[in-house]
Amino acid sequence: MTGDTVGSVSSVQELRDGAASAVAVSSSWPEIAGPVAAALRSVAADPTGRGLPPVRSVMLTAKTLRARDEPLLRPGETGMPFDEGRTIGELAGYSVPVAHGHLLFALARHLRPRRVLEIGTNIGISAGYIASGLDAGGHLWTLEGSPARVRVAGGVLTDLCVADRVTLVPGRFEETLEPTLEEVGGFDLVFVDGNHQDEPTRSYYRMLAGRGEAVTALVFDDIRWSEGMARAWNWIVRRPATRWSLDLGRLGVVLT
């Protein structure tokens, strides 16, 4: 599940079926279900986003990053245990493939969210896709536990000319998520790509679902990364707060 191939979110037919499913509930939540359907249709029409210059720009940046074999940690820099021995190219390979990035971009473009949250910045590629889709009034807060990855992500977002739309929040998720929610309030769109385990994922959902007055779109990455993630996803789709869900193989989308 690396980002070093173009890949696709799922089959084009699954994207179209997901769009039709979103349309079916749009009478209840037109302000969000309709734009989600439009985003899914746009990805189905052009999975790799080659016709969209912002998507292509992030794709080319990610390709360049994957070719960098220098260590993440600079000499003398203290990192997190999971940073030791990692290269920038390796971390870029863990980021979202192009089609997943296109979907994040499309959701940001069609939903026109004012407040977006990402849990798990890594080195900024997914944040680049999201921020590139935001309009002038939108802003992304992205949480990352590794100071070294925050440093690299800051450079990536600057190179993509979207740094002014992004607030990087360094620190462990358990120390930064609740304060960010208290500071910002509810979010319109959330991308969860943090601790890929059962209980942490359930905890994110409990903290995020139905927090604001409006309906929120939550996108979970790697819903089949482990047995624990699969259990968490199955639990999420059965929660009363989940109004609609869509399984796209690697990604899961819910409206709460």
pLDDT tens digits, one per residue of 215-228 = 799 999 999 999 99
pLDDT tens digits, one per residue of 15-72 = 888 888 888 887 787 888 899 999 999 999 998 898 999 999 999 999 999 999 999 9
Q: What pLDDT shows up at residue 154?
A: 98
Q: What pLDDT shows up at residue 120?
A: 97
pLDDT tens digits, one per residue of 130-165 = 999 999 999 999 999 999 999 999 999 999 999 999
Where do the structural domains in the chain lie, given as residue ranges? 12-255
Q: How confident is the model at residue 10 (pLDDT cuts 50, 70, 90)?
A: low
Q: What is the mean pLDDT of the chain?
A: 91
- The Cα–Cα gap between 207 and 191 comes to 13
**Whether 216 contacts 186, CB under 8 Å:** yes
**Is a pLDDT exceeding 60 seen at residue 9?**
no
**Is a pLDDT exceeding 70 seen at residue 213?**
no
- The Cα–Cα gap between 6 and 185 comes to 35
Of 8-17, 45-54, 168-177, minimum mean pLDDT range: 8-17
Average pLDDT over residues 179-190: 94
Sign of the CA dihedral with 14 first, then 239, 231, and 125 last: positive
Q: What pLDDT shows up at residue 5?
A: 32
Query: Could you tell me the pTM of the whole model?
Result: 0.93
**Is a pLDDT exceeding 50 seen at residue 243?**
yes
Q: What pLDDT shows up at residue 4?
A: 31
In terms of Cβ atoms closer than 10 Å to its own Cβ (0-12, 13-18, 19+), residue 23 is: middle
Q: Check if CATH label 3.40.50.2000 holds for domain 12-255.
A: no
- The Cα–Cα gap between 23 and 152 comes to 39
Length of the chain: 256
Q: How confident is the model at residue 103 (pLDDT cuts 50, 70, 90)?
A: very high
Strand partners, 140: 116, 166
Q: What pLDDT shows up at residue 126?
A: 98
Query: CB-hemisphere CA count at 13 Å for 139?
Result: 8
Sign of the CA dihedral with 211 first, then 215, 220, and 223 last: positive
| Residue that the structure tokens 């960010």 belong to | 180
For 99, the enclosing helix (H) or strand (E) is helix 98-111
Of all residues in the chain, the percent with pLDDT exceeding 90 is 74
**Is a pLDDT exceeding 90 seen at residue 1?**
no
In Å, the largest CA–CA distance within the chain is 57
- The Cα–Cα gap between 129 and 55 comes to 7
Q: What pLDDT shows up at residue 75?
A: 93
